């Protein structure tokens, strides 16, 4: 039984590739899973293979999505499509799109056809690894937060008004705290002034007493 050896290359990372061997009678679904096992991706997303020419122009599509009645006439299903039924060129090129929302794209080339499979080998298999594959769920720019199911856009103005009222109440509370602090400070200054005044009065009383004592002594002398 013939064995196809494909070279699978990331379109946006052409220094990263995997060589995958697979039986000619196996399906595109088998090739799909072999690719993701080789690059370390989770293959549970929508994907499509496109039989291509030397210029990577997309032709016949083979996909894993559910097909409607119109598509069934010109689009093939992963599970039913055998590789040998679509490959006639010994240098066949296939354009592969995985997870359309993130649009991972690959270029697949048939680089060799082996006439016999190796005894005891489980196909498909990865026979060569070049470069480190990018992370499927790597660090990406933060997207928009999901919208709650009970979100009511008509209630947005009310929410904003509530926020403004809360801010005004907080501002008023802060002003009251500042006013109280100033009042306490002023009271402290008044107490200090009274203490100073009391001290001055005590000094005057002491001076009067001293003068009275001096007068008494003078009278005694006379």
**167 is in which domain, residue-wise?**
155-221
Number of domains in the chain: 2
Tell me the per-residue pLDDT of 154-211, one tens digit each, with 9 for 90 and over. 665 565 565 566 666 666 666 655 555 566 555 555 455 555 555 555 554 554 555 5
Determine, yes or no, domain membership for 89: yes
- Are the CB atoms for 35 and 21 separated by under 8 Å? no
Q: What is the pLDDT of residues 106-135, one digit of tens each?
A: 999 999 999 999 999 999 999 999 999 999
Residue where one domain finishes, among candidates 130, 147, 168: 130
What is the torsional sign of CA 74, 75, 79, 81? Answer: positive
Strands 58-63 and 75-77 come out as parallel
* 99 and 197 share one domain: no
> Is 141 contained in some domain?
no
202 assigned to some structural domain: yes
């Amino acid at each position: 039984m013939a064995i196809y050896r494909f070279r699978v290359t990331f379109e946006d990372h052409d220094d990263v590739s995997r060589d995958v061997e697979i039986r000619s009678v196996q399906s595109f679904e088998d090739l799909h899973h072999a690719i993701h096992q080789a690059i370390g991706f989770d293959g549970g997303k929508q994907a499509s293979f496109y039989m291509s020419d030397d210029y990577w122009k997309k032709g016949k599509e083979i996909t894993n999505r559910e097909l409607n009645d119109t598509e069934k006439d010109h689009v093939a299903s992963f599970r039913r499509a055998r590789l040998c039924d679509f490959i006639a060129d010994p240098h066949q090129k296939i354009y592969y799109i995985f997870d359309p929302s993130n649009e991972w794209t690959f270029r697949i080339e048939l680089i060799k056809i082996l006439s016999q499979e190796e005894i005891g080998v489980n196909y498909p298999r990865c026979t060569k690894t070049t470069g480190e594959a990018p992370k499927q769920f790597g660090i990406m720019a933060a997207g928009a937060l999901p919208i709650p199911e009970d979100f009511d856009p008509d209630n947005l103005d009310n929410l904003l008004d509530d926020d403004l009222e809360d801010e005004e109440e907080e501002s008023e509370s802060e002003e009251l705290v500042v006013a109280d602090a100033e009042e306490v400070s002023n009271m402290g200054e008044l107490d200090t002034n009274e203490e100073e005044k009391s001290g001055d009065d005590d000094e005057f009383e002491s001076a009067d007493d001293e003068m009275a004592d001096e007068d008494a002594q003078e009278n005694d002398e006379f």
